[in-house]
Structure 1
Amino acid sequence: MNISGAIACSLLLTAILFFPAPYSAQTGVFINEFMASNGFTLADEDGDFEDWIELYNHSDDTVTVEGYYLSDSDSNPYQWRFPSVSMAPRSFLLVFASGKNRTEGELHTNFKISSEGEPLLLSDPDGNLLDHIPPASLGRDLSYGRLPDGGADFETFERPSPGAPNLPNFELSLTWSHPSGFYDDTLSLEVIVPGENEIEIYFTINGDLPGSDDSLLLSSIELLPTEVLENNPIIEIPTNSSSSPPWYRWRPPGDDLPRAHVVRAAGFKDGEPVTDVLTGTFFVGSEYFTHLELPVFSLVLEEGDLFDHYRGLFVPGNSYDENPWEGAWSGGNFHKRGREWERETHLFYFDEAFEKQLDQKTGIRIHGGGSRSMPSKSIRLYARSYYGEDRIRHDFFEEGPNEYHRLLLRNSGQDFVRTMYIDGLTHLIVAPMGFEQQRYRPAILFINGAYWGLINIRDRIDKYYFQSHLGVDEDHLDLLEFGGFTIVEGERDDYLEMMEYVRNHSLEEEMHFRMVEEWMDVENFIDYYIAKMFIATYDWPGNNIRFWRDRSENGKWRWVYFDNDDALADLYFNPYNHLMDSTNNPWPNPLWSTELFRNLMESEIFRSRFVNAINRHLADTFDPERTISLAIETANSLRTEMSHHIERWGFPESVDQWEQFNMEVLEFLGSRSCVFLEMSKEFFGEDYQFDSLGYCISYVKDEANENSIQLMPNPTRNHLHVVADIPLSIQSYTIVNAAGKQISQKRVTHSSETGEKYKVDVSGLAPGWYLLELVLNKGMREYFPFVKTD
């Protein structure tokens, strides 16, 4: 250091150590508050949550701060210069410490503040140091500043107040006389105030934050059994537009729905809050609660955050008024995204044993694409330190990570009007294939005490998922969607380079296929495509497709399995035609979306591996005995609750219709292996060896006689009725199980006219999938899959 530099540094340190307060006091302008890790406190005009610094003019005069300087460096106090700005007496001035360096509109410095702690300096145009804040290490969404404003004492604030007077931290904490949970009869709920503090308690019962103009608590709150209460009026608010198509248009709820009590209370003194808000959820007395078989979520939040015309997440609102078709399917506030459309909620979670497992604040946003227009919305939960806890910590699923930055309460997407479990079931089916996928568990949701029906607890596929499940650092994650057109995280150059190579080299040549193998996990790609093809996903691969890699030396592209709400429906959907189509349909299989698959199919190595994988998965993963067992178990888990869910939403039309949808799923799973096997044989030809499936025999679709003979009911518990709309003569029947083993055989003599039934007793069979072989007159054979249930 030269002599002049040493002298300057010495003078600066002297000023910092001995003279900051007097000069600040003369000018009246102080650094009053700052935040060094802004997770969710205040967004700038770009929607970014940047560090910020607040100045306060403590004087009675207007002060012009043009030419003043802000800095985070003792050795360089003149880092950022103020433009022409004046501060009125007793006013605040906010500056974002973002590094964006803006002096028009919102003010942004050319530096950021380290949350680990570094000094902040304010200097006047003559270089005089006006204020100096020593380094302070701060957690996320905590601020540090003076109390009172402009005073000499500093505090860390749990309630940051950028651009407004600093707020003291609450020293009092209220508690309930009874914890949130389930109670048999009327509950007298009290609020316990520590010590002998003389404060007034105000409360609300609709989810709103209490204020001094709400109900004053004089003694206790009587919570009556919920069966004597009327429905919460919020369930009468339509959650999509009246112009929505009838198949998913909001329907009025029934009259006899479960309900919970939600209570919020806060302490006030002289009209000002002196405690944080206390929130509780109480299930009282209803017979319904004694028969719960699923876990329960309760969300408590400001009613306007969901239903206000301008800011409500659940309603068409002003967004629909301005542009009715802005979003997929229909416009509405529920199609809005980003942090400005995140709302604070209090989250409770009770397990099947009625034990409270979660009681914390989180953020919520609407999740999904077109399914945002469904009457019931998918909800994305956000854990942030801003809300108190930076994780949602609970073991919702029996294996895997149990801490979440994000968690989904999903409405089952398009399947909301059908079964409420299709996508979750497909994830259970393909679990052995080792994909990056979303775990599934059903639950019941209450919002502000109102019954909101069934939801699906799911993982959220984002950077935190890859970090917690696979240990991939977010700085090394490349996550893309829609053929690499959209970057979710990281970079896309490597993927685009691979696709350029694929376009310009014939993969018939082994050397070029081997080169592509260096880029992508081919085995994962094969399994992923077989899974999507087997379940008959139509709105893909030009939609709902994501792939990722760890940006490391050995990182390869892998495909993420998600969003299969329209699956397990079209038994005869031919995925080979879908994926090899070269007509360039705009949706759902444009050429760009099938390009990689079509080119890989040119490789003999790839085709052989594909066939081998089909044989393996048809014998194991997609074995009807396994898949049908999973489907029956999944439907059974919802059966008790489904009548209430239908009463709430009107979808499906009835429990009987839901049971019919269940039967169609079982029919699909019972027959899809055989159908997919035949399609695969036809596509690959005789040069490839496919393993036979004993239960298939020669079961193929007979277009001419598709509806001439039917089994009713199917699934069944005790008996099958063979019904024909043509004269029918049966000589014998054989029942074969999913493993191809003959279970029973019987010779019969049955002749009937049109519409007469023949009864087959299956009461002695174990639950599962079976094939009924009928030998008709002249030795003609017909094969019919059926499902035996408990």
Structure 2
Amino acid sequence: MMSRKCALLCLLLICGTLCVLLLCDNYCPEELRFSRESGFYEEPFELELSAPFGEKIYYTLDGSVPDENAFLYTTPIFIDDATSQPNVHSMRTDTSPIFLSESSEYRLPDYPVDKCTIVRAASQNADGNFGEVKTESYFVGYDEKAGYQDMNVISIVTAPENLFDYDTGIYVLGRKYDSILDEDGKPLWENANSYNHGFEWERPVDIQIFNTNRDVLLKQSCGVRIQGGGSRTYLPKSLNLYARENYSRATRFYVDLFGTEYMADTVTLSIGGQDAFTKFRDMLVSTLSKDRAFCTMNFVPYTMFLDGEYWGVYWLTERYNNTYLDYYYGVDADNIIMVKNNKLTREREEDWAVYGSMLNYLQNTDFTKAENYESLGYTIDLQSYIDYYATEIYIGSCVDWPGTNEAFWRARKLTKNTGRGVNYEDGRWRWMLFDVNSGSLRERVVEEDVLAITMERSPAFRNLCQSAAFKKQFVLTSMDFANETFSVQNTEQVIEDWLALMREPMEVHLRRFYGEEGLYRFDEEVADIRAFIKRRRPYAAQHLKENFGLEGCLAPVEIEMPDMAAGQITLNTITPTFDEQGKWKGEYFTDYPVTISAAANEGYRFAGWEISAGQEKETIAETSLELEIPVNGLHVKAVFEREGSGK
């Protein structure tokens, strides 16, 4: 029998062995380890790196890939607020031709921009082979810094040459821009490296995404390209991020970035295009028209750090592609034809024939014939088309639209409706809203007859406008937009919410790229948007009257709903937003009747309409009505009663 002393000795040996195993796990792990994860920290700390036994660790702090020329890890790395470090990429002037112009609005920062510490490390085994590179980003002391409240943060880390190499860097003007000049001896912006497209100009990056609570949402290797058209020469630039197997063995960004549970394969970090001083116009129009019959994007605000340096404010948005349509519309990704800027997004010869057939049909069919107009709905979702064109026209898009910045899609093969809601695989074309930042929502175009311009530029739209039925539907929808969607009441709330969130972050952004002068431009642009919204409605209405030959006049339409909890009211294509007294007022042309309907909420029943038209008053019990509008206006009161009330 084992003595008590032997038993105690065995127990000590077992405990000692376990301690050694735990120490080995900590100091000799099976793979490279960081003692701290990417994140936001209040206080400085020492970062410890550990690797399998016998392996060396090399690391970098500038985004470059570690090799034998990098720092050899021997002692912990002190991580502090890196803001005091010298500005590096922020001081470049080879990122935009605007720097070279005498009237350049860009300013190099004369202060240390905010920074984070980026650590990239890899271990080297005895054979000299390097393992997988690990990348982390550390933000220290950001709790009190201005411009980050309620903002998501993304850190993008890549080898500097991927962005800034003279020949192959995607973010700079480059050698071709400097070498090939026009007949006046001036460079052409389309020769810039940043203007190149395609997979050849995609570069590997590591991203770390933090939500507003500073939790890590995503850490992933992916690809990056410059995004946009003319804005490719701006600073900063919009970026597309691509999830691919060759970067991280993941073909999606498997995190809910937009609050819709959509797991995207591609996302865009948008600088706002030509709306550089507010970055608001795209977001505003998409938000206001979210319930319309065309595609819109979600906009999530982000602050970006590029290789550790503050790089401005962006909107993270979905990117229109087959994956987007598959998720949001339930159409198989392989069964989609999508056209953007008159080009197929996926080249298939038979799809060109389908696209060409649709264009020919819209441009050359006589839609003044009732039977032709009735059949139009088999080719396009007519409300989608009208909603989209009425939106673009109302907001004043006339710089690079129509013709460019236009996209639409359909299912290639038709499937039967299963009865589970809208069948988007019905083979009808539907429209997609994007890039309304060029000329829209600016006071200088508030009086512009964009309806006439669109009829001139678009043969299909001009042909459809010959149809009396199309005119009616277009006029009613346009006035719905004027009275509700883009009303001062609706837009002002969105503007105020946006200002509360974005003013401070945008002040930091504008100071970084435009100096103190940029702050004044911000307020000017916000005032410009407000002035357009305030003044646009009468001009838009007059253009409808003149171009469509309307003979009637605008007359007030008032709706009253004393108990707003009782149900829902629909007027034409809108759900009116009632004021605190349960009243709504708009204007419509007397040429066309309006359609109004009511639906009771649970616990209520619809009792009828009390209608006042001029001197005449009547009560109608039907839930849906088509009402003519007298010259002196129309007043409608929706009456609901509680079920079981006996009234």
Query: Deviation of residue 672 (structure 1)?
Result: 1.9
Other structure's SS at 2:87 match: coil
Matched, 1:579 2:438: no
1:201 aligned partner: 57
2: distance between equivalents of 1:438 and 1:693? 32
Matched, 1:240 2:69: no
Maintained 8 Å contact 1:608/1:688: no
1:568 aligned partner: 441
Other structure's SS at 1:620 match: helix
Query: Deviation of residue 436 (structure 1)?
Result: 1.2
CA deviations 1:108-133 (Å, max 9, x no partner) are xxxxxxxxxxxxxxxxxxxxxxxxxx
Choose the corresponding residue for 1:269, options 125, 129, 139: 125
Q: 1:617 to 1:214 in 2, by over 3 A?
A: same
Q: What is the identity, as a one-letter code, of the residue corresponding to 2:273? A: G
2: distance between equivalents of 1:504 and 1:577? 19
TM-score w.r.t. length of structure 1? 0.61
Other structure's SS at 1:273 match: coil
2:484 aligned partner: 620
1: distance between equivalents of 2:435 and 2:429? 19
1: distance between equivalents of 2:362 and 2:518? 50
Maintained 8 Å contact 1:481/1:487: yes
Choose the corresponding residue for 1:219, options 60, 68, 75: 75
Equivalent positions of 1:336-485 (< 5 A) are 336-388=196-248, 389-398=250-259, 400-416=260-276, 418-482=277-341, 484=342
1:184 aligned partner: 42
Matched, 1:649 2:513: yes
1: distance between equivalents of 2:262 and 2:181? 40
1:251 aligned partner: 107
1: distance between equivalents of 2:206 and 2:506? 26
2: distance between equivalents of 1:191 and 1:502? 65
Choose the corresponding residue for 2:393, options 520, 529, 533: 533
CA deviations 1:339-388 (Å, max 9, x no partner) are 11111111100111111111110111111111101111111000011112
CA deviations 1:409-466 (Å, max 9, x no partner) are 11111112x3122111111111121321221122100011011011110111112211
Other structure's SS at 2:529 match: helix
Query: Deviation of residue 335 (structure 1)?
Result: 0.9
2: distance between equivalents of 1:516 and 1:681? 24
Query: Deviation of residue 248 (structure 1)?
Result: 6.3
Q: 1:674 to 1:377 in 2, by over 3 A?
A: same
Other structure's SS at 1:612 match: helix
CA deviations 1:442-500 (Å, max 9, x no partner) are 21000110110111101111122112222222332111234x46564541322322333
Query: Deviation of residue 288 (structure 1)?
Result: 1.5
Maintained 8 Å contact 2:120/2:136: yes
Other structure's SS at 1:507 match: coil
Matched, 1:316 2:173: yes
2: distance between equivalents of 1:459 and 1:358? 16
Query: Deviation of residue 183 (structure 1)?
Result: 1.2
Q: 1:572 to 1:613 in 2, by over 3 A?
A: same
Q: What is the identity, as a one-letter code, of the residue corresponding to 1:460? A: R
Q: 1:568 to 1:437 in 2, by over 3 A?
A: same
2: distance between equivalents of 1:515 and 1:327? 52
Equivalent positions of 1:605-684 (< 5 A) are 605-650=469-514, 653-684=517-548
Maintained 8 Å contact 1:347/1:361: yes
Q: 1:738 to 1:618 in 2, by over 3 A?
A: farther
Q: 1:437 to 1:644 in 2, by over 3 A?
A: same
Equivalent positions of 1:265-344 (< 5 A) are 265-270=121-126, 272-286=128-142, 287-288=144-145, 291-323=148-180, 329-344=189-204
Query: Deviation of residue 304 (structure 1)?
Result: 0.3
Choose the corresponding residue for 1:598, options 462, 466, 486: 462
1: distance between equivalents of 2:397 and 2:541? 17
Query: Deviation of residue 220 (structure 1)?
Result: 0.6
2: distance between equivalents of 1:343 and 1:556? 37
CA deviations 1:94-146 (Å, max 9, x no partner) are xxxxxxxxxxxxxxxxxxxxxxxxxxxxxxxxxxxxxxxxxxxxxxxxxxxxx
CA radius of gyration, larger in:
1
Maintained 8 Å contact 1:266/1:278: yes
Other structure's SS at 2:517 match: coil
Other structure's SS at 1:629 match: helix
1:555 aligned partner: 427
Query: Deviation of residue 392 (structure 1)?
Result: 0.8
Query: Deviation of residue 619 (structure 1)?
Result: 2.8
Query: Deviation of residue 254 (structure 1)?
Result: 3.4
Other structure's SS at 2:389 match: helix
2: distance between equivalents of 1:204 and 1:738? 64
Q: 1:295 to 1:503 in 2, by over 3 A?
A: closer
Q: What is the identity, as a one-letter code, of the residue corresponding to 1:597? A: F
Query: Deviation of residue 525 (structure 1)?
Result: 0.6
Other structure's SS at 2:377 match: helix
Query: Deviation of residue 200 (structure 1)?
Result: 1.2
Q: What is the identity, as a one-letter code, of the residue corresponding to 1:683? A: N
Q: What is the identity, as a one-letter code, of the residue corresponding to 1:393? A: Y
Maintained 8 Å contact 1:674/1:693: no
Q: What is the identity, as a one-letter code, of the residue corresponding to 2:129? A: P
2: distance between equivalents of 1:370 and 1:343? 21
Other structure's SS at 1:605 match: helix
Query: Deviation of residue 691 (structure 1)?
Result: 5.1
Other structure's SS at 1:393 match: coil
Q: 1:328 to 1:576 in 2, by over 3 A?
A: farther
Equivalent positions of 1:504-515 (< 5 A) are 504-515=364-375
Q: 1:512 to 1:740 in 2, by over 3 A?
A: closer
After superposition, the CA RMSD in angstroms is 2.8
2: distance between equivalents of 1:464 and 1:485? 18
Q: 1:233 to 1:460 in 2, by over 3 A?
A: closer
Identity of aligned residues (%): 27
Q: 1:439 to 1:242 in 2, by over 3 A?
A: closer
Q: What is the identity, as a one-letter code, of the residue corresponding to 1:577? A: A
2: distance between equivalents of 1:204 and 1:623? 53
1:727 aligned partner: none
Maintained 8 Å contact 2:117/2:308: yes
Query: Deviation of residue 626 (structure 1)?
Result: 0.7
Where does the alignment leave 5 or more consecutive residues of structure 2 unmatched? 1-28, 415-425, 559-581, 587-647
1:132 aligned partner: none
Aligned residues: 515
Maintained 8 Å contact 1:480/1:492: no
Q: 1:292 to 1:175 in 2, by over 3 A?
A: farther
Maintained 8 Å contact 2:556/2:585: no
